[in-house]
């Protein structure tokens, strides 16, 4: 969904008027929608984030927005060619891999803050803070982490876009983040950071729900709660479709 400039400007103006403490708190933010519904015709969505900053001088501040979720355990496998056949030759478990991770900012992250600050707050694909499951003390092998992030970047699920946060005047800002059609459903957080001189001054968090609705939700729930019955039903449907297609072509 696209948002006309007049609507955005109006929303930002109302936000500024409705928040008289903005100048004291420095940062007030909101998002255009707190729920995204996935239907069969879902082709992605544009998430608008906007807000206002207070008294910090404009040439000494930066805005960084991180949208992340949902975290889930993932097994990353490495393939090796043995005897002319590609086989799984190693694996690493990741406990907290986000299904979607987007960072937009006023400037490149390296120009906003040092690596130690970015790592502390988990800002940037390089600083996701991925860890192995509980009980495994060994750190995650770097090649597996790089492979996992590279695959998700290729699928547009990991995104970094410097320069996408725009200031409208001296205090109002906005950014639009595109969420692809393959975005997983679940709970997301949209965290907005106010930086100055390489340090975080303020941060605010909003929540976002992405969920399947309608027939897609029924199929998903059925597959998750009764996987055996779902598998049998899928095989029966495939057999019936094959038989029906064969019967139609034989009749011609």
CATH class of 5-213: mainly beta
- Residue 55: per-residue pLDDT: 61
Quote the CA–CA distance of 217 and 182 in Å, as a whole number: 15
**What pLDDT, on the 0 to 100 scale, is given for residue 251?**
60
| pLDDT at site 216 | 58
> In terms of C-beta density within 10 A (0-12 exposed, 13-18 middle, 19 or more buried), how is residue 89 classed?
exposed
Give the highest mean pLDDT range of 108-112, 181-185, 209-213.
Answer: 108-112
Q: Give the residue extent of every domain in the chain.
A: 5-213, 214-252
The confidence band for 240, taking pLDDT boundaries of 50, 70 and 90, is: confident
Alpha carbons 26 and 22: distance in angstroms, whole number: 5
Q: Give the number of other Cβ atoms within 10 Å of residue 118's Cβ.
A: 19
| DSSP-derived 3-state class of residue 140 | coil
Please give the mean pLDDT across all residues of the chain.
79
* Higher per-residue confidence, 35 vs 80: 35
Contacts of 204 (CB under 8 A, 6+ apart): 27, 28, 29, 51, 191, 192
Q: What is the pLDDT of residues 53-77, one digit of tens each?
A: 876 555 678 999 999 999 988 888 7
Residue 155 vs residue 132, higher pLDDT:
155
Task: Answer whether residue 46 shows pLDDT above 50.
Answer: yes
What count of residues does the chain have?
252
Q: Is the pLDDT of residue 80 over 90?
A: no
Res. 143: pLDDT tops 60: yes
């Amino acid at each position: 969904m696209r948002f006309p400039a007049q609507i955005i400007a109006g929303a930002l103006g109302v936000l500024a008027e409705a928040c008289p403490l903005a100048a004291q708190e420095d940062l007030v933010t909101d998002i255009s929608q707190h729920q995204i519904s996935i239907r069969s015709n879902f082709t992605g969505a544009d998430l608008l984030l906007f807000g206002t900053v207070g008294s910090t001088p404009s040439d000494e501040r930066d805005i960084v927005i991180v949208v992340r979720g949902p975290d889930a355990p993932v097994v990353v496998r490495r393939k090796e060619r043995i005897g002319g056949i590609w086989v799984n030759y190693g694996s690493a478990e990741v406990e907290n891999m986000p299904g979607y991770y987007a960072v937009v900012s006023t400037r490149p992250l390296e120009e906003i803050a040092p690596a130690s600050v970015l790592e502390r707050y988990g800002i940037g694909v390089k600083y996701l803070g991925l860890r192995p499951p509980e009980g495994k003390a060994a750190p995650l092998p770097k090649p597996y982490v790089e492979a996992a992030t590279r695959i998700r970047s290729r699928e547009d699920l990991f995104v970094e876009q410097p320069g996408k946060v725009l200031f409208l005047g001296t205090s109002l800002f906005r950014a639009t983040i595109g969420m692809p059609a393959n975005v997983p459903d679940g709970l997301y957080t949209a965290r907005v950071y106010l930086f100055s001189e390489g340090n975080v001054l303020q941060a605010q968090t909003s929540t976002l729900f992405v969920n399947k609705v309608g027939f897609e939700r029924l199929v998903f729930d059925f597959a998750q709660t009764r996987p055996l019955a779902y598998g049998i039903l899928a095989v029966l449907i495939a057999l019936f479709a094959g038989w029906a297609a064969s019967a139609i072509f034989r009749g011609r």
